[in-house]
Chain A
Amino acid sequence: MKKHIEKAPSLLACVVLGLVAVAAGSPSWGDVKKIPDVIILKDIQNRYGPVTFDHKKHTTLAENCGICHHTHAKKTYETCGDCHTQAAKILKAAANGMLMPCSGCHGEYSPETPGMPDLKVALHKKCFTCHVGMGDLGESPMGCVNTCHTRK
């Protein structure tokens, strides 16, 4: 399970950098300096209202950042390019301490790469690691709206 966590996507980086990328109109990871306390996730707006993710709260709840964020402590991939398919400049920025956006790898799902979940699945899997079993999530479909989502 731990191994899986370590390979999991970077929720924070994804959202933060994604928002910056959208704002800037181009992927400019170098501009990201500050981590916001609260992140608004709007990935499945067609079904649910936006989800407010309290990042600050989670930094105190989680044992360490690696619980949610990718780390390279256990390198199980053959080459860097298995994950880092972006331009060398961006990879260099990531290697220098900047986090890659989740969407860098977890974009639209392709059946040709079934091992790479799309962004929605990557984020949900991360949340479910802890939240299944809290309240009625994992017992009832109502768990979705009782835990995170709001009905539209």
Chain B
Amino acid sequence: MSDSKRPEPPEGPMCLTRRSFLSISVLAGAAALGTPAIARSAQGQGSPEFKGWPKSYGMLTDFTACVGCRSCEKACNEANRMPAPEKPFDDASVFEESRWPSATAYTVVNRYKNSADSSRPLFRKIQCNHCLEPACATACPIHAYTKTPEGAVIYNKDLCFGCRYCVVACPFNIPAYDYSSPLDAKIVKCILCFGRIKEGKIPACAEACPAGALTFGRRADLLKLARKRIIDSPEKYIDHIYGEREVGGTSWLYLSGVPFEQLGFPTNLPEKPLIELSKGYLSTVPVIFTTFPAIFGMVYAVMRHNERAAGKEERSKQHKEVDHE
């Protein structure tokens, strides 16, 4: 539970923080180790222009609608068969501190002060954003993560060996650690109720939300819906769909009535997937490994050939001199 109070990602302009440095290093390291990053940067598509799987699902969270009932947390807990929390789900005292998703709660709702209307607090639901080009999947050296065509970023617990590269690589600070077994610690996070989606159901949190704050659907449709809401009620929303472009786009999208930094969102993220930061120079690695031996081999062969030719000439000269004698 120690990671349930992890600090939120730093705010402010883009700068090379310790965390971002580590993220890039991890991506770079993973890419260098057998270059899984390059091979999988587009989820098997091999294209740097991957824009997400067509018809993939996503979720739209509308913070202007959320009333902080925590029904989503309860539904998540029940759907994932997790133990009951210390405090019941209708206990508002949990809002007194900032919580973060953990091994025992894949999603949490935090309460924030509302700068626009002090009489009504704001709520933010936090969970995995299911990036279109997930840094966790890129960083994982053992391919435990998969970005499914349905949109969910899932992982194979049995493959995970606990390196925690994904923890460092995630720009949203999401993968949590299950410390229940000290020798067999595992990564855990929201998987967009992938099993339920495959059964034709919708994620448990969206099914439970009574306020219409969570809408599950095709990501392309959700973007249209979000834009329509902004156009229909420009006084209600800020003109930004969070997740549309951040780190190459995420399957989870957000609408808000206040700037996202006020809800603790990292707003200093690049629009390109994080793998783009290291792909440029890492793409030269295989080139170097294939062309350099060939070039040096050819140079060596030419030199050897010249040496032999020179040696032959020398020998034939000597032979001629001997013949003359």
| Pair B233/A1 contact, Cβ less than 8 Å | yes
Q: How far is the CA of A145 from the CA of B60 in the complex (A)?
A: 27
User: What residues of B have a CB within 8 angstroms of the CB of A115 in the complex?
Assistant: 221, 225, 228
Partner of A1 from the list B69, B209, B217, B236 (CB cut-off 8 Å) is B236
Q: How many A-B residue pairs have CB under 8 A?
A: 80
Total contacting residues, chain B, CB less than 8 A:
33
Partner of B212 from the list A1, A111, A124 (CB cut-off 8 Å) is A124
| Pair B92/A125 contact, Cβ less than 8 Å | no
Query: Is B91 interfacial (CB-CB < 8 Å)?
Result: yes
Query: Is B155 interfacial (CB-CB < 8 Å)?
Result: no
User: What residues of B have a CB within 8 angstroms of the CB of A138 in the complex?
Assistant: 67-68, 120-121
Considering the complex, which residues of chain A in the window 114-138 have a beta carbon less than 8 Å from any beta carbon of chain B?
Answer: 114-115, 117, 120-122, 124-125, 128, 132-133, 136-138
CB of B281 to closest CB in A, whole Å: 41
Total contacting residues, chain A, CB less than 8 A:
29
Q: How far is the CA of A17 from the CA of B300 in the complex (A)?
A: 90
| Pair B92/A140 contact, Cβ less than 8 Å | yes
| Pair A112/B218 contact, Cβ less than 8 Å | yes
Q: How far is the CA of A124 from the CA of B69 in the complex (A)?
A: 12
| Pair B216/A141 contact, Cβ less than 8 Å | no
Closest to B200 in A: A111
Query: Is B311 interfacial (CB-CB < 8 Å)?
Result: no
Query: Is A33 interfacial (CB-CB < 8 Å)?
Result: no
Q: How far is the CA of A29 from the CA of B121 in the complex (A)?
A: 42
- Of A109, A114, A115, most buried by chain B (CB within 10 Å of CB) is A114
Q: What are the interface flags for B216-233 relative to A under an 8 Å C-beta threshold, 1 for contact and 0 otherwise?
A: 111001100100100011
CB of B65 to closest CB in A, whole Å: 7
CB of A136 to closest CB in B, whole Å: 8
Question: Which residues from chain A sit less than 8 Å from chain B, CB to CB?
Answer: 1, 3-4, 44, 109, 111-115, 117, 120-122, 124-125, 128, 132-133, 136-145
Q: Given A114-B217, A114-B221, A128-B65, 16 more contacts at CB 8 Å?
A: A3-B232, A4-B232, A109-B202, A111-B57, A114-B60, A114-B216, A114-B225, A117-B212, A121-B211, A125-B65, A125-B212, A132-B120, A140-B95, A141-B69, A141-B90, A143-B69
> 14 A-B residue contacts at CB 8 Å?
A1-B236, A3-B233, A109-B202, A114-B216, A115-B225, A120-B210, A121-B210, A125-B65, A138-B67, A138-B120, A139-B68, A141-B89, A141-B91, A142-B90
Question: Which residues from chain B sit less than 8 Å from chain A, CB to CB?
Answer: 57, 60, 65, 67-71, 89-92, 95, 119-121, 202, 207, 209-212, 215-218, 221-222, 225, 228, 232-233, 236
